[in-house]
């Protein structure tokens, strides 16, 4: 057995021994509603709540073909963390899709569930305490949650790959970068060491690492942060995945390097036609590269729509708050930007009704005590989860963001 870490795991940000059997995602067949799940439970009840491990093993020659260009369909996904202090309902009925060549940006405050959504798709949730308790993750029509870990492992890295913000901790410090990239080809393609090393050099050149033939023998600490991120990207794209999930790929980098990495991702996407899920806090990056946006709050999607309409007319009060809080081209020097008051909710003690109501200036009684709002279609391609989405006050706030002096809130206009 090799002593190297599993490169597919590295691409997923989880360096694990090759024979590790971690990251098995139990999948619940339960159809319990979010309301029912929120009732206080004893620790014993929590442990007993059904969660089903996927068991289907796909034949070795199984091929993955997108149906009508649709790569991924996440439906009603629910994830919870069962801890001593209680159950944290981290993801509550999240649904979205991704098509070939498309970039979907997932946006939201810290703790809103962006990374957990990505981990559930990849099948790398920390279990325990994390459990997928409902929903579907359909890749090319097959629900990945029903697959046995053996089949899931073949999807991870080869079909759906992931890059993480912190490349240094995701790369193994004791092996050369060339070895770590080459391992992908040795394991998944059965290449010999010489051919795999040649492929590693080719990939390093493809992600524009200067002097790739010499630097293939260098160790991760001998590279700058931007170059390490390029190596992570090289490993992620090594097997030509159909989907790349980039979880805050540029947050740890300075602005110039951020732009270079985003340009590289765009270039690779253009060449390969892969779909990309981009998780970020950066509204400027979203405006530059995304086709559609999914805004998350407290483990729920609150607004999804193509980028242009969201920036021009954000319909959910939370999205409106996010966009109002970034500088725009027409922001005057010294002007204080409005911030969303309050704090994100504690997932162990979620507020009743709409989870955003303690911070929402438009909240009324139904928001505080009624059932949480579900996503509803408000435009041809736009969906919003708000009881008051059509109320004149909420519409006026949306309109204000679109018509501030100096022009509309174009995607350029909100660039920091």
Ligand X SMILES: Nc1ncnc2c1ncn2[C@@H]1O[C@H](COP(=O)(O)OP(=O)(O)OP(=O)(O)O)[C@@H](O)[C@H]1O
Minimum distance between the CB of residue 119 and ligand X, rounded to whole angstroms?
A: 7
Name the residue among 153, 111, 154, 147 with its Cα closest to residue 132. 147
**Residue 117-156 contact track with ligand SF4, rule CB under 6 A, x = bound:** ----------------------------------------
Q: Which span sits near ligand SF4 by CB under 6 A: 42-50, 160-168, 334-342, 351-359? A: 351-359
Minimum distance between the CB of residue 108 and ligand X, rounded to whole angstroms?
A: 6
Q: Which of ligand X, ligand SF4, Mg ion, none sits in contact with 212, Cβ below 5 to 8 A by type?
A: none
CB atoms within 10 A of CB 153: 17
Q: Which of 41, 76, 99, 126 binds ligand X (CB under 6 A)?
A: 126
Minimum distance between the CB of residue 343 and ligand X, rounded to whole angstroms?
A: 12
Minimum distance between the CB of residue 129 and ligand X, rounded to whole angstroms?
A: 5
Query: Is residue 388 a contact point for ligand SF4 (CB under 6 A)?
Result: yes
Q: How many residues interact with ligand X (rule CB under 6 A)?
A: 16
Minimum distance between the CB of residue 392 and ligand SF4, rounded to whole angstroms?
A: 12
C-alpha separations of 115 from 98, 109, 189, 199 in Å: 17, 11, 29, 30
Minimum distance between the CB of residue 247 and Mg ion, rounded to whole angstroms?
A: 6
CA distance 305 to 323: 15
Contacts of 411 (CB under 8 A, 6+ apart): 287, 288, 307, 308, 311
Query: Is residue 357 a contact point for ligand SF4 (CB under 6 A)?
Result: yes
Query: Is residue 345 a contact point for ligand SF4 (CB under 6 A)?
Result: no
Query: Is residue 328 a contact point for ligand X (CB under 6 A)?
Result: no
CA distance 361 to 5: 50
Q: Which span sits near ligand SF4 by CB under 6 A: 181-189, 240-248, 331-339, 382-390? A: 382-390
Q: Which span sits near ligand SF4 by CB under 6 A: 122-130, 139-147, 282-290, 385-393? A: 385-393
Q: Which of 9, 356, 411, 414 binds ligand SF4 (CB under 6 A)?
A: 356
Q: Which of 206, 230, 362, 383 binds ligand SF4 (CB under 6 A)?
A: 362
Q: Which of ligand SF4, Mg ion, ligand X, none sits in contact with 360, Cβ below 5 to 8 A by type?
A: ligand SF4
Minimum distance between the CB of residue 415 and ligand X, rounded to whole angstroms?
A: 20
Name the residue among 196, 163, 159, 202 with its Cα closest to residue 180. 196
**Residue 295-334 contact track with ligand SF4, rule CB under 6 A, x = bound:** ----------------------x-----------------
For ligand X, the binding residues in 51-90 under the rule CB under 6 A are 81, 83, 88, 90
**Residue 79-118 contact track with Mg ion, rule CB under 5 A, x = bound:** ------------------------------------x---
Q: Which of 220, 284, 314, 373 binds ligand SF4 (CB under 6 A)?
A: 373
Which residue lies nearest Mg ion, judged by its C-beta?
A: 115
What count of Cα atoms within 13 Å lies in the side-chain half-sphere of residue 140? 11
Question: What are the beta bridge partners of residue 80?
Answer: 89, 131
Q: Which of ligand SF4, Mg ion, ligand X, none sits in contact with 126, Cβ below 5 to 8 A by type?
A: ligand X
Q: Which residues bind ligand SF4 (CB under 6 A)?
A: 317, 354, 356-357, 360, 362-363, 367, 373, 386-388
Q: Which residues bind ligand X (CB under 6 A)?
A: 81, 83, 88, 90, 108, 110-116, 126, 129-130, 347
């Amino acid at each position: 057995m090799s002593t190297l870490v599993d490169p597919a795991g590295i691409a997923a940000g989880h360096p694990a021994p090759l024979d590790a059997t971690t990251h098995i995602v139990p999948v619940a067949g339960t159809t319990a509603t979010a309301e029912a799940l929120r009732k206080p439970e004893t620790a014993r009840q929590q442990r007993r709540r059904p969660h089903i491990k996927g068991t289907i093993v796909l034949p070795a020659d199984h091929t993955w073909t997108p149906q009508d260009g649709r790569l991924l369909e996440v439906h009603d996904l629910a994830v919870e963390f069962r801890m001593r202090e209680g159950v944290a309902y981290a993801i509550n009925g999240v649904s979205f899709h991704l098509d070939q060549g498309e970039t979907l940006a997932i946006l939201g405050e810290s703790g809103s569930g962006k990374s957990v959504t990505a981990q559930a798709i990849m099948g790398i949730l920390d279990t325990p305490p994390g459990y997928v308790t409902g929903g579907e993750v359909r890749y090319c029509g097959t629900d990945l949650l029903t697959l046995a870990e053996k089949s899931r492992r073949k999807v991870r890295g080869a079909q759906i790959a992931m890059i993480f913000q912190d490349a240094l901790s995701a790369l193994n410090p004791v092996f050369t970068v060339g070895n770590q990239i080459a391992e992908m080809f040795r394991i998944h393609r059965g290449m010999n060491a010489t051919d795999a090393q040649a492929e590693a050099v080719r990939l390093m050149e493809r992600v524009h690492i200067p002097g790739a033939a010499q630097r293939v023998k260098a160790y991760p600490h001998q590279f700058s942060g931007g170059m390490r991120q390029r190596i992570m990207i090289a490993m992620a794209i090594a097997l030509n995945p159909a989907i790349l999930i980039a979880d805050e790929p540029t947050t740890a980098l300075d602005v110039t390097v951020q732009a270079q990495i985003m340009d590289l991702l765009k270039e690779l996407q253009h060449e390969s036609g892969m779909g990309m899920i981009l998780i970020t806090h950066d509204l400027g990056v979203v405006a530059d590269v995304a086709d559609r946006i999914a805004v998350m709050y407290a483990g729920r999607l609150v607004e999804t729509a193509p980028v242009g309409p969201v920036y021009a007319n954000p319909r959910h009060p939370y999205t409106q708050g996010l966009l109002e809080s970034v500088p725009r081209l027409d922001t005057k020097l010294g002007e204080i930007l409005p911030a969303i008051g309050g704090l994100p909710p504690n997932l162990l003690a979620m507020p009743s009704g709409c989870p955003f109501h303690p911070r929402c200036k438009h909240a009324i009684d139904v928001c505080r005590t009624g059932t949480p709002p579900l996503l509803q279609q408000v435009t041809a391609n736009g969906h919003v989860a708000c009881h008051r989405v059509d109320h004149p006050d909420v519409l006026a706030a949306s309109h204000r963001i679109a018509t501030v002096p100096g022009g509309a809130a174009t995607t350029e206009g909100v660039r920091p």
